[in-house]
Structure 1
């Protein structure tokens, strides 16, 4: 099989409609929603007022002009969005249970007969995302979530709150700028002050990076140390012999880079590429 289809049960959809949908969302997310079209989905983040991570979002325009928001924890996100709704003429609808989200990549990907298809706006290597009515069966073999996790980990891509701590994570440390989730020319949005200060002062000292794992499995959140015993990061998601780790960039000041978590050796590298 030259392609992979993976259900993402932790993701679901919210529908956003109404004449004020663009102005409503523009002041809430990190990317410029004016760029959205049926041919151009958008990746963005929703932050708290202190500029820390709450949700990552794929925003998709349907053929009838409504928007779909692909997200985690739809119920919690809806509560937060409704706090900012005020007099905006928009309608927010939780579609959880009505649609399933799939990650799809590889060669000779078959056509989807019922549902919506977008190219993943983060990296071409991530392929596509399918939004399929829940009562529609996929007449093709499905791969487990671990297959998608390994694919994205090797590319250096996190997966929402599975890799970014909610209410604590700084998204620039988690490569959201490299993944096209930021627009530095748009107007104000919640959490913009921290993003702008960090970006323009060049204050990124840590990054989420892929690591090769040599030895026993490393638990999520395990501290990582350099050869001198200094703590330089912590482990995030992993599959078999590869994982993601939040690491100080100073670990690359000397070569070769070899780190440890317990008795396990970790070898990081820079993986992200655009286009």
Structure 2
């Protein structure tokens, strides 16, 4: 975490461990705020890989599921990095700041992703670095997010994935059931902006509340226990604009394309609620009541504002439709399915 930014957050009564803010002293109130109010959240739990050099665009184009040529200073994208077998090693957002391509992904996956990408640079003019602590970043979301942020940074991005550069600040509109933005930039300027938004009524919240907003938006985030577990379509990445089926070859492309053109999706990501006090870990197995073999895995789970746990899970579609689905074991707590804010295409090609 950027040291200046960390000092500021600590002064705001943030509980910080392992580059992640757990809360600002009132976890349950923060979850409630995320559900109904406008909130601001530190995003240091996201690591950043910086890519520079004259061959960067062509190099990244051969690595990721989306069309890197469409990434401009005004346009970002969700994308995935896959194994040769087409399984996601990481999902991330790709955007530009000046001549830098920036990849945001969960901190635990940054080092293995960076190490693997560097293996394929070879003689290309590409430099890959861990830039997580070079800048600071935070998010804002909620019913007044656009009004509050727009009062200080006019001309905000209007559509999801769009980017606006405000001098040294990069503002990205990201998926959400209400307006939601990421802001990246120097700590000094972000401190000033955070204070202005807080004074305007935005409520500081920790990582669990922001992660809950990802769940409500149906946006997957991989962990060390779910990396290399899902083909991108299983995590609904095609429905979130995270896959290009028109670009050239990339690692894992044959498997991803085959599923698109020749098959019907047999697993997809669902949103659900379960009556538990503690969220299950990513990768926790899910079962049909009549089967001892796993029907799927938890992708992401967080406490829900009104009690229990909300989660995203990749499941066999046939099992989810037959129901019920149980967590942890065939007679474990039962999932209550909830609507995603987007439709998922099952017929491919």
TM-score bracket for the superposition, by shorter chain length: 0.7 to 0.9
Deviation at 1:148, TM superposition (A): 1.4
Match of 1:131 in 2: 184
Deviation at 1:9, TM superposition (A): 2.8
Q: Matched residues in 1 for 2:250 and 2:176: separation?
A: 24
1:15 match: secondary structure: strand
Match of 2:170 in 1: 116
Q: Of 246, 249, 260, which aligns to 1:188?
A: 249
Which stretch shifts more, 236-245 or 18-27?
236-245
Q: Matched residues in 1 for 2:169 and 2:296: separation?
A: 41
Match of 1:10 in 2: 45
2:223 match: secondary structure: helix
Match of 1:98 in 2: 134
Q: Of 245, 249, 252, which aligns to 2:317?
A: 249
Contact 2:267/2:315, CA 8 A, preserved across alignment: yes
Q: Of 158, 169, 174, which aligns to 2:235?
A: 174
**Cα pair distance change 1:126/1:167, threshold 3 Å:** farther
Match of 1:30 in 2: 65
Match of 1:239 in 2: 302
Aligned-residue CA RMSD (Å) = 2.6
Structure having the higher helix fraction is 2
Contact 2:71/2:96, CA 8 A, preserved across alignment: yes
Deviation at 1:45, TM superposition (A): 0.8
Q: How does 1:39-118 map to 2 (within 5 A)?
A: 39-62=74-97, 64-72=98-106, 73-106=109-142, 107=144, 108-110=147-149, 111=152, 115-118=169-172
Q: Matched residues in 2 for 1:96 and 1:222: separation?
A: 29
Contact 1:29/1:47, CA 8 A, preserved across alignment: yes
2:91 match: secondary structure: strand
Q: Matched residues in 1 for 2:267 and 2:38: separation?
A: 34
2:223 aligned with 1:161, yes or no? yes
Deviation at 1:39, TM superposition (A): 1.2
2:204 match: secondary structure: coil
Q: Matched residues in 1 for 2:111 and 2:332: separation?
A: 40
Q: Matched residues in 1 for 2:177 and 2:70: separation?
A: 18
TM-score under structure 1 normalisation?
A: 0.85
Task: Note the residue ranges of structure 2 that are not aligned, 5 or more in a row.
Answer: 1-32, 154-165, 344-349
Deviation at 1:252, TM superposition (A): 4.7
2:214 aligned with 1:152, yes or no? yes
Deviation at 1:263, TM superposition (A): 4.2
1:43 match: secondary structure: strand
Contact 2:62/2:250, CA 8 A, preserved across alignment: yes
Contact 1:156/1:270, CA 8 A, preserved across alignment: no
Deviation at 1:115, TM superposition (A): 2.7
Q: Matched residues in 2 for 1:7 and 1:145: separation?
A: 7
Q: Matched residues in 1 for 2:183 and 2:82: separation?
A: 26
Runs of 4+ in 1 over 6 A off after TM superposition: none
